[in-house]
């Protein structure tokens, strides 16, 4: 069942206490008693099965209540205290870049080395034995060589996990950029027969509407194109994805498939021929920009989007940017509600780690709260050391408030009942409203009426989240609220 959206009144104001706050009172350091500014937290991930918030990055110790706990690039928060994820019988040293669940089991990946009994090493891919809390290699070691697989991919959950990275060998198979993993064994992936340069790498492989796609950085692939970032397999061969240039500065950093729509974000722009500015979506027929996208006007070459997460029907995007939808959003975190870009009432670029970009690196949802990590030390005059939780009102309220005019804040505009299976009505009607428009989560108008009825029958709408916008005669937007159609 879809969650009930809160904060749906267009003028619900954020309380003065709304803020980001530190998680507990820890510092996370490179060594016991070390400088927390040297910490590099790269991933934050909510594990609903373990019911823990997991951190990944490059650090050694988690200091909780003055006591250092060895983390070695990984940590977990249970709502009360920080701890290591696993018993360090086989320690992991290096940088953890991600976690995922596959067939119910927890995996980690990144740029770490796992030291095993007998002197053997396993590189960058491990699975947690939750019976004894020890990270273990998969059935075949990922060799500790100069070029190796360093990412695990399972987009729009399927029955196969993919190990991707540099051209390497696993289980004695010939070198390749991609290997399939079924939960008990690695297998060659027959579609990946590209012949690239030594430093080439693959990020993501996935299917969308029956077609295989691949992202990465491939040069001299032997397929008739060079230096590609985004390709698909069709009619027995790989080709550049239509609507995209064959090459551009940057990469596609994250991929999401939601409601049969493909979203990608990373480092690309409309100026180089991409269909959007650092983020775009594909509906199966054509690529679309999402408003003006994401940008950093003071340094256009130094920006990009990093990670995408869905929360209450909205798409949240982290990265290195200051503007979303053409407006200053304070940098690094914004969300798309299907019609517009929205931002938090917080400054992210104020106090950052020395020598780093102002950047929000990742976002997670855990226990129905938002958590972020990034290159910040303070938020709203609080010391948070790169990890923070949003404890204020649901952020939808801030976005809706920014887009409303000529309404009475004492009588906010609301749609009810919510969720609904049939008729919906509204309260708090703004003065001058003469038109009503209903859009789906992609911003597509499903209804546009030149007069405002007392109620609306949405029984024929497909299940999902919809935005109801009240407009003046000249089309000026007066108020907006959302509802869920069951």
List of domains in the chain: 1-14+393-486 (2.60.40), 20-392 (2.130.10.10)
Whole-angstrom Cα distance, residue 294 to residue 327? 9
Mapped onto helix, strand or coil, the DSSP state of residue 110 is: strand
Residue pointed to by tokens 């749609």:
415
pLDDT digits (tens, 9 = 90+) for 31-62: 545 555 556 889 999 998 989 999 998 888 77
pLDDT at residue 412 is higher than 80? no
Percentage of the residues of the chain whose pLDDT score is greater than 70? 77
SS3 of 132, please? coil
pLDDT band (50, 70, 90) for residue 11: very low
- Contact at 8 Å (CB) between 335 and 342? yes
CB within 8 Å of 67: residues ≥ 6 apart: none
**Does 311 score more than 60 pLDDT?**
yes
> Are the CB atoms for 442 and 283 separated by under 8 Å?
yes
* Residue in the structure block whose two tokens are 């060589």: 145
d(CA 200, CA 214): 13
User: What does the pLDDT look like over 289-306, one tens digit per residue?
Assistant: 999 999 887 666 667 899
Q: Residue 144's pLDDT is what?
A: 62
Of 345, 283, 293, which Cα lies nearest the Cα of 321?
A: 293
Contact status, residue 341 vs residue 325, Cβ threshold 8 Å: yes
| Cross-strand bridge partners of residue 46 | 53
Range 386-401 average pLDDT: 63
- CA–centroid distance for 323 within its chain: 17
Give the whole-angstrom CA distance, residue 67 versus residue 85: 16
DSSP state letter for 259: T
**pLDDT, averaged across the chain:** 79
pLDDT one-digit tens code per residue, 210-228: 999 999 987 655 555 567 7
Tell me what percent of the residues of the chain surpass a pLDDT of 90.
29
Q: Which two tokens stand for residue 59?
A: 């650090």
In angstroms, the CA 166 to CA 201 distance is 4
Distance CA 305, CA 264 (A): 9
Does the bond joining 419 to the residue before it have cis omega, within 30 degrees of 0?
A: yes
Rg (CA), the chain: 24
Q: Which of 457, 459, 478 is nearest to 469 (CA)?
A: 478
As a whole number of angstroms, the distance between CA 43 and CA 60 comes to 15
- 267 touches 254 (CB < 8 A): no
């Amino acid at each position: 069942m879809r969650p009930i959206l809160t904060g749906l009144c267009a003028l619900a104001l954020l309380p003065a206490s709304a803020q980001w706050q530190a998680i507990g009172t820890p510092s996370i350091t490179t060594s016991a008693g070390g400088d927390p500014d040297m910490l590099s937290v790269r991933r934050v991930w909510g594990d609903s099965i373990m019911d823990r918030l997991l951190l990944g990055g490059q650090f050694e110790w988690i200091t909780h209540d003055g006591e250092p706990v060895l983390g070695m690039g990984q940590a977990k928060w249970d709502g009360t205290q920080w701890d290591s994820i696993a018993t360090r019988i086989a320690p992991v040293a290096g940088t953890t870049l991600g976690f995922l669940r596959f067939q119910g089991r927890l995996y980690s990946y990144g740029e770490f080395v796992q030291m095993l009994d007998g002197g053997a090493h396993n590189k960058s891919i491990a699975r947690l034995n939750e019976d004894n809390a020890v990270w273990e290699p998969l059935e075949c070691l990922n060799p500790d060589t100069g070029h190796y697989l360093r990412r695990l991919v399972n987009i729009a959950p399927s029955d196969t996990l993919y190990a991707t990275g540099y051209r390497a060998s696993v289980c004695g198979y010939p070198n390749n950029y991609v290997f399939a993993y079924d939960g008990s064994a690695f297998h060659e992936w027959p579609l990946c027969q590209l012949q690239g340069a030594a430093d080439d790498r693959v990020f993501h492989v996935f299917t969308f509407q029956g077609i295989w796609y691949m992202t990465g950085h491939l040069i001299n692939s032997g397929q008739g194109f060079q230096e590609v970032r985004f390709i698909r397999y069709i009619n027995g061969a790989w080709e550049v994805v239509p609507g995209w240039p064959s090459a551009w500065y940057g990469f596609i950093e994250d991929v999401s498939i939601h409601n049969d729509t493909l979203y990608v974000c990373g480092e690309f722009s409309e100026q180089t021929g991409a269909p959007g500015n650092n983020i775009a979506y594909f509906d199966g027929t054509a690529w679309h920009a999402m408003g003006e996208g994401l940008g950093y006007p003071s340094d256009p070459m130094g920006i990009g989007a990093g990670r995408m997460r869905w929360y209450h029907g909205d798409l949240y995007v982290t990265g290195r940017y200051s503007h979303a939808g053409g407006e200053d959003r304070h940098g690094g975190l914004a969300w798309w509600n299907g019609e517009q870009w929205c931002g938090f009432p917080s400054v992210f670029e104020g106090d950052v780690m020395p020598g780093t970009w102002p950047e929000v690196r990742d976002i997670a949802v855990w226990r129905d709260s938002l958590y972020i990590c990034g290159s910040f030390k303070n938020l709203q005059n609080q010391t948070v050391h790169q990890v923070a939780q949003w404890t204020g009102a649901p952020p939808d309220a801030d976005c809706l408030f920014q887009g409303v005019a000529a309404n009475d804040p004492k009588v906010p505009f609301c749609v009810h009942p919510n969720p609904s299976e049939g008729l919906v009505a509204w309260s708090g009607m703004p003065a001058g409203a003469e038109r009503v428009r209903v859009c789906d989560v992609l911003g597509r108008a499903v209804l546009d009426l030149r007069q405002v009825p007392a109620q609306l029958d949405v029984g024929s709408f497909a299940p999902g989240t919809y935005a109801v916008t009240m407009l003046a005669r000249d089309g000026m937007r007066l108020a907006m609220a959302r509802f869920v159609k069951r």
